[in-house]
A and B are shown apart, each in its own frame.
Chain A
Amino acid sequence: MPNPASLRMVDNHYCAGCGHGIIHRLVCEAIDEYGIRERVIAVAPVGCAVIAYDYWDFDVTEAAHGRTPAVATGIKRVRPGNIVFTYQGDGDLAAIGTAEIVHAANRGENITVIFVNNGVYGMTGGQMAPTTLAGQKTSTTIYGRSLRREGYPLKILEMLAVLPGVKYAERVAVNSSHEVLRAKRAISKAFKMQIDGKGFSIVEVLSMCPTYWGMTPIQAADRIKNEVATFYPLGVIKSC
């Protein structure tokens, strides 16, 4: 398989078995597919993907933690002809940046959001995220997430799907080659929605964090299928 032109051929800093590298590649493949590399302006998050610009071969900026969709809004509003996407973890999007994502979605900003759900804060050492599953052990839920104490895992896509501004929302995973292909199709579709001026599109990608799940890469991939995807069902949640 040829390497995507939008992806720089350099070593990456992600842990073995991490989903970020795969997802970067899928984003770049979609961008190449539509020949839009020279139109893209990306917003990288604060989180493990904070230096995504070292891997992506197009214009990229950063945002303060969680403000990613607001930065993208500013860019898109002054440059409607560019293709603008954000790349956000679950801490970034579902905790500190909940307001920004809800309102960018509700305004129907014509941007694309790649939402990487690995159920933990990877960058800061594996603390609980809003998406952490019930019973899951993290550095801040050492006996497992208690629903009574920490509340319920947040289903962001289901929440966003009720907003009229959201035109496309799909949940995918990158735990097997089969799922990776489906993830690829979803990410391509999300960019196509923006190219066609349809409005806000978001793809949630269930991703592995073997390091802070305390698992081997294979076990982590299995966990997505056996546990994570049973709570966060895969598939199109909204398309119009």
Chain B
Amino acid sequence: MSKNKVLMCGNEACGEGAVIAGCKFYAGYPITPQNELISYMAKRLNETGGAFVQAESELAAISMVFGASAAGERAMTSSSSPGISLKQEGISYLAACELPCVIVNMQRGGPGLGNIAPSQGDYFQSVKGGGHGDYKLIVLAPMSVQELLDLTFLAFDLADKYRNPALILGDGLLGQMMEPLTIPSDMQPKHYDKPWALTGCRDRAPRIIRSLLLGEGALEEHNRHMQEKFRTIKETETRSQSFHTKDADIILVAYGSVARIAKAAMEAARAKGLKVGLIRPITLWPFPDKTIEDSCAATKKFLVVEMSAGQMVEDVRLAVNGKAKVEFYGRMGGGIPCEEEILERVEALL
């Protein structure tokens, strides 16, 4: 396998992952801290023969993605927290129509206009719905520039495989930092037939893509089908990483950029002889609750670290289900926890 080593910021790596995955359409609206991604897509889709539209708003951008996806092409949009709130209407429609697409959220401090510093305050919005109705997004949480490329590539495959929107949940730190990364030259996107796509009804019956289901029981039936699909995704696509969880007196749980900081804290603790482990969810939905539940056999304490007032901690508590103590440490509004802070909490809890 020949490899291509480059230096890029996270937003660009995310764009390159999309291009390698065969993304043919991008629509977006500028918002910090994800603007490098818009510019990157404008350049790369021009080079690769795809279509790029700078939309008039996030509402329009997600609806353009709806159109491109309905027409059978791989499509992407990106934004940051306030913009993702606006996209929720369209995301609900995409989920309802079972249209694949990739949405990127480089989270910033909130609520409201907030600030442009990194945050993880959109966890609930990402994994519990966000828009109206019963649906789930496949939510992937990269923790490095390399993973922004790899997981964006994967997100396109998962979206097509399950006909469901996939969300990359990053933050301003990941989006804007630069790191060396490897672009494998043999990354080949899988091809999925799309016998539902709107291409014009030549030599076939017309197709309809809609979410309005008025017939008696039809919408309930469709919801049942979607829930069945979500169960399959949960069984098949849950991903996480565990470090030193077998002998841990305390296990840290963190995702994204915070998982990186938590990992450094864990290593510092181990160097001091403290038995600290880390579970790092890669998919936030489906959530790796089984991994967390199983680790209760070896540990009696968890410390969940987030850049929020405490959102993922609720899913950890559900998974632990009373079998261990779950503590929380969070920073909000763009505050970033540092290694020493986490280590201090760990030592206080041990």
Contacts and interface: CB of A to CB of B under 8 A. Distances in A.
Interface in B266-289: none
A82 B89 contact: no
Interface stretch (B51-59, B183-191, B340-348): B51-59
Nearest to A60: B208
A115 B59 CA distance: 21
A72 interface: yes
B54 to A, nearest CB: 10
A71 B63 contact: yes
A58 interface: yes
B202 interface: yes
Contacts of B24: 78
Contact of B66 (A44, A60, A71): A71
A79 B199 contact: yes
A61 B67 contact: yes
B67 A70 contact: yes
Contacts of A102: 56
B65 interface: yes
Interface residues of B, number: 41
Contacts of B89: 64, 67
A99 B64 CA distance: 14
Interface string A71-97: 111111111001100000000000000
A43 interface: yes
Contact of A37 (B59, B63, B73, B201): B201
Contacts of A41: 71, 198-200
Nearest to B59: A67
B75 interface: yes
Contact of A62 (B71, B73, B210): B210
A29 interface: no
Contacts of A99: 56-57, 59-60
B112 interface: no
Q: List 4 tightest A-B contacts by C-beta distance, closest first.
A: A74-B67, A70-B63, A67-B63, A74-B64
Contacts of A79: 71, 199-200
Nearest to B211: A62
Contacts of B195: none
Interface of B: 24-25, 27, 51, 53, 55-57, 59-61, 63-73, 75, 89-90, 93, 97, 198-203, 206-212, 214
B70 A61 contact: yes
A56 B205 CA distance: 12
A38 interface: yes
Interface in A19-63: 37-41, 43-44, 50-51, 53, 56-63
A67 B211 CA distance: 15
Interface residues of A, number: 37
Given A37-B201, A51-B212, A78-B25, A100 B71 contact: no
B65 A74 contact: yes
B212 A62 contact: yes
Interface string A185-201: 00000000000000000
A61 B200 CA distance: 12
A100 B68 contact: no
A103 interface: yes
A20 to B, nearest CB: 16
A107 B55 CA distance: 10
Given A53-B210, A58-B206, A100-B56, A77 B199 contact: no
Nearest to A83: B200
A85 to B, nearest CB: 12
Specify which of B59, B70, B210 lies most central, judged by the most chain A CB atoms within 10 Å of its CB: B70
A154 to B, nearest CB: 18
Nearest to A40: B200
Contacts of B198: 41, 59-61, 75
A39 B200 CA distance: 4
Contact of B90 (A37, A64, A103, A107): A64
6 contacts: A38-B200, A41-B200, A43-B67, A67-B89, A70-B63, A77-B68
B73 to A, nearest CB: 4
A208 to B, nearest CB: 24
B114 to A, nearest CB: 24
Contacts of B202: 38-39
Contact of B25 (A38, A60, A77, A103): A77
A37 B51 CA distance: 25
B56 A74 contact: no
A190 to B, nearest CB: 18
Given A77-B64, A103-B60, A59 B200 contact: yes
Given A75-B67, A99-B60, A67 B51 contact: no
Given A78-B73, A100-B60, A59 B67 contact: no
B27 to A, nearest CB: 7
A107 B53 CA distance: 10
